[in-house]
Amino acid sequence: MQKCELDTPALFLDLEIFERNLILMRDTAKAAGKKLRPHAKTHKCPEIAKRQLECGNCTGICAAKLSEAEKLSEAGIQNILITSPISAPWKIARTGKLNREISGLQLTVDTPEQIRLLAAQASCEHPLHLLIDVDPEMGRTGVNSNEALELAKFIQKFPNLIIDGVQCYAGHLQHIRDFNERITESTRLMKLGAASFNEIKKIAPQCHIFTGTGTGTMQADIKIPEVTDIQVGSYCMMDAEYLAVDHGKINFSPALRILASVINCRIPGQATIDAGTKAIYVTPGAPPRVMKNGAVDPDFTYDWSFGDEHGRLTFPENITLFPAQRLELIVSHCDPTVNLFDELWIVKGDEVIDRWEISLRGCCR
């Protein structure tokens, strides 16, 4: 089957690029003495999670939400860290069930209320393993670094709860375009998390994990001695938002693409394609990029101004497109774009060789 035989818009993954990205990240982390804990929020695909684990040097898989973790467990995946603290009582009740069903479940916490509710779901036979979420001055989740020790002391009041470590993820730094600025700021913030980790280890010897980072900051974070593993996600797929970032010496290639087709091109220098906001997540400042012969074609500019069903391409008037012509685009932001599709077509060369289900799609609870 040829790529051109796919109906459009279709989401596909270049298998050879994908596998090179996995190997590059594995070897980079291993050389620094760190493990990988890849984040499934990017791909929402159990098959990809399994391949990341099989590639080696992994300590587990991350899930952003409880529902993602439940789907991963249904696919037979163990050792799952849920990176977003869970506070709703009805969700916490489900964590107890999941903890009994799989091995290696870990949860992040940032309030005493969560901890009390989690203790009610755990038992000495099936204790819950917790990581304290430290806020890297982002204001989203987590406790201030100077409050982490007190939260650890509170957890120790419950014999069915175990402190496994500390999480510190600076999501707001991942797309800072200047490499040196991004590296400097991530180093500063991760050192705050490391200080909390060192303090907690003094009272909780079983505390052995300091995890966090992302694709954009991993080159800085693997140099922090206390970091044990990195929660990288986008590296396996990549997108236009990351293409706009200076990655220094280590660059991952865009394996994820949208296959779209031209609907109308009657106006010179403009074409309407069949991939609008329902197919490509809107990311201001990082529109999709048209690919030609394996490289970004700078002559084409995409925007979402044509709405839900349609995208607009503009280009020099000396370029000619025709209706039904197929185009490959690097997506704007891989995580939410993947969430718009049910399946991922796997391509090797010009052949479609497989189809992987995006079974975590819509798992936002």
Which whole number is the average pLDDT over 79-97? Answer: 96
| pLDDT tens-digit map of 129-162 | 999 999 999 999 999 999 999 999 999 999 999 9
Query: Residue 249: which residues within 8 A CB-CB, separation 6 or more?
Result: 219
Mean pLDDT of the chain: 96
- At 256, list the tokens: 């994820």
Report whether pLDDT(355) > 90.
yes
| Residue for token pair 């991942």 | 174
pLDDT of 350: 87
Q: Pick the closest to residue 260 from 219, 309, 209 (CA basis).
A: 309
222-240 average pLDDT score = 98
Q: What is the per-residue pLDDT across 156-187, written as a single tens digit (0 to 9) for each?
A: 999 999 999 999 999 999 999 999 999 999 99
pTM value? 0.96
How far is Cα 122 from Cα 129, in angstroms, rounded to an integer? 10
Distances in whole angstroms, Cα of residue 45 to Cα of each of 308, 338, 339, 353: 25, 9, 10, 17
Neighbouring CB atoms inside 10 A of 205's CB total 9
What's the pLDDT band for 4 if we cut at 50, 70, 90? low
The answer on pLDDT for 1 being more than 60 is no
Per-residue pLDDT, 107? 98
Q: How many CB atoms lie within 10 A of CB 10?
A: 21
Gap between the Cα atoms of 122 and 32, Å rounded: 36
Q: Token pair for residue 261?
A: 């087709």
With CA atoms as reference, report the closest residue to 150 among 205, 210, 110.
Answer: 110
Can you give the pLDDT at residue 2? 60
- pLDDT band (50, 70, 90) for residue 79: very high
